[in-house]
Structure 1
């Protein structure tokens, strides 16, 4: 039996080996697969390493050479002296705190690095429409570059004027305002701060929607720009409407003899405007203790300016108003009142005041309070007697 098996094995080779052995081809195949796997792993590793190095290089470059700073700004958002000293657009997202800080930056170098022509900032504090915008547009026409316009209205109000109007695009970011509250002072300081962003603004006039000019632009511009003083009315009144509004809680920072009253409608030189926007200490005292019938808009600036900057003010207002009638509001004038004699009476009311420490009969440059219905008559009168 064994003999026959050996014989069969010799005849048919190793098809049925008695002891199994590794085939040399199987080993070769395994070696090839190992090389393939190794090569694939090496390629994959190098690829991942290259991507990581590229990422690291990109992050390092962005850290030390930011794209926004060195690419975007260089191409599209360059800083320029023009945009800094004369902002084109009034819209911004600054808080009042940020705005006031930005507005009170003062350059240490007195010489301007550009051709600065002093401008007058006309600041309108209103709740809504400006019925006398056509009159003011006629007043401003032809004097571009010598004035700026700023409008503080209710936040939800959009002033609808043509692109040709001096009021177009001149609304500033605003907040709600309540009559007789500290919010009126907030609005005044907000107007001043926005106007201070333009370094060419030298004089700052606060006006209402019921105000009109009673002289032409060249006369008013020359009067304000050449004045050595600001025009802030500030006086001591021993009455319930004067000293009676003082709160003893203001002591000792504000004493009774410091307390002053005056017209809300002021005109300021740039230096005094910066000081008022800068002040927080006395503003905080007023915000705490000048309410609800204290009327901080009639006392804060008159008191503050008298305490610290009295020498900078002519101590009078340049806005005429009629308080001869009883009540908390001045008289309002409509169509039946608008005559040439009436305007002349405002311009030459036989009173004398000081201008640059000398007596003058020109005391009022603006007047209020006029009803919207008076617009057409005022336009007719101003073209005849005020030359605009």
Structure 2
């Protein structure tokens, strides 16, 4: 009996000795299986997530050769709008002074709010750490084509490219379709729909100003339409504007129903009727004034809310705002000629049959003197409108003789 008991105890010991390692082995194997499964799940999770630089931007696939350099890209220093944004930024050094001071590519995906904030940045240090050549920014506001591109290209031909830049705001879906040899190539800015007589016109003007302000060399800003032409050559216009101490924004008090009659009393007390001004939207202004205009929110919001229906904010917002706060920077006149002699809501249109040497000379010499700096000048207008597309060929035939380009 004792021997049998000893054998039973030995059997239990052996069974326990085998069971413990076996249980450990099973637990170990299960752990490995769970670990591999978890690793595979985590790997699938991370490799399936897009590499987003920012909310709203296009994503870069994980196998892109540029993903290792994502941290070298900042929020708004974009080189392109395609998925190779980081590759180009690494190549072109988006944090370099050159890329900060001006843009090679006008494409970006900033909202208006982001764009206006970015454009409002002003250096506190007066000295420029680069060789700055003051530029004229030619800003075209049009729904579609620019019929006078051949004339404008003749105007710019042979000029120092450091002295001018071009920006075009069209309907969002429109493409100028110019060749890569044109000065207008790749000069369309990210645009939005514009409706005549609404605040969207003011939005487009501020959008053009803001895009142009991103180039720190742009000093003077000229708003032009598709029907505008220059009536002097580039050198004359460049000297006239860069030497001027004033901006040229039309601003005057019109007591009629087309002026004060559009004032909305809900704008008080911020804007009173004595402050209300009217003027042509086709302005030219200095950089300092342009920054003030795109930085404003308070008065713009008042116009957006209360200058509706037959108010036409593009004729009143800038003239009123500048008159109220920055009148000392402005000449209260425009440098773009237009003929309102026929009356009505639209000016005279110059068609092909109207284009003669005498007509063009009369546009250049208005027969009056205008204030220029601290004196006067007989050169009051640098540009003119409204020209019909049929005027292109006659203008090209005589521009070298009369307009000197």
Band of TM-score, shorter chain: 0.7 to 0.9
Aligned to 1:362: 379
* Aligned pairs for 1:1-388 within 5 A: 68-69=70-71, 75-76=90-91, 78-143=94-159, 144-388=161-405
Q: In the aligned structure 2, how far is the partner of 1:43 from the partner of 1:118?
A: 74
Q: How big is the shift at 1:154? A: 0.8
User: Deviation per CA, 1:12-45, whole angstroms, max 9, x where unpaired?
Assistant: xxxxxx99968x9999999789768868977997
Tell me how many residue pairs correspond in the alignment: 361
After superposition, give the CA deviation of every residue in 1:152-196 in whole Å (9 maximum; x if it has no partner): 111111111111111111111111111111111111111111111
Tell me if structure 1 keeps the 8 A contact 2:251–2:319: yes
CA distance in structure 1 between the partners assigned to 2:285 and 2:138 by the alignment = 11
Determine the C-alpha separation between the residues in 2 that align with 1:31 and 1:285.
88
Greater RCO, CA 8 A, separation 6+: 1
Q: Secondary structure at 1:323's aligned position in 2?
A: coil
TM-score of the two chains, using structure 1 as the length reference: 0.84
**What is the CA–CA distance in structure 2 between the aligned matches of 1:246 and 1:295, rounded to whole Å?**
10
CA distance in 2, matches of 1:36, 1:290: 85
CA distance in 2, matches of 1:103, 1:75: 24
Work out whether residues 94 and 100 of structure 2, in 8 Å CA contact, stay in contact via their aligned partners in 1: no
Q: TM-score, normalised by structure 2?
A: 0.81
SS at match of 2:176: coil
Q: Which segment drifts farther, 312-321 or 78-87?
A: 78-87
Could you tell me how far apart the structure 2 residues matched to 1:307 and 1:354 are? 20
Shift of 1:376: 1.0
Residue of structure 1 in register with 2:79 after alignment: none
Q: C-alpha separation between the residues in 1 aligned to 2:223 and 2:128?
A: 26
1:7 maps to none
Residues 299 and 19 (structure 1), Cα distance of their counterparts in 2 relative to 1, 3 Å cut: closer
d(CA) in 1 for partners of 2:316, 2:5: 117
Shift of 1:75: 4.8
Higher alpha-carbon Rg: 1
State the match for 1:4 in structure 2: none
SS at match of 1:384: helix
TM-aligned CA deviation for residue 385 of structure 1: 2.5
Runs (4 or more) in structure 1 with deviation over 3 Å come to: 18-22, 24-49, 70-78
Distance 1:162 1:328 in 2: 36
State the Cα deviation string for residues 221-278 of structure 1 (Å, max 9, x = none).
Answer: 1111110000011111111111111111111111111111111100010000000001
Coordinate RMSD, CA, aligned: 3.1
Q: Separation in 1 of the partners of 2:5 and 2:308?
A: 113
Gaps of 5+ in 1: 1-17, 60-65
Alignment CA distance shift 1:209-1:67 (3 Å): closer
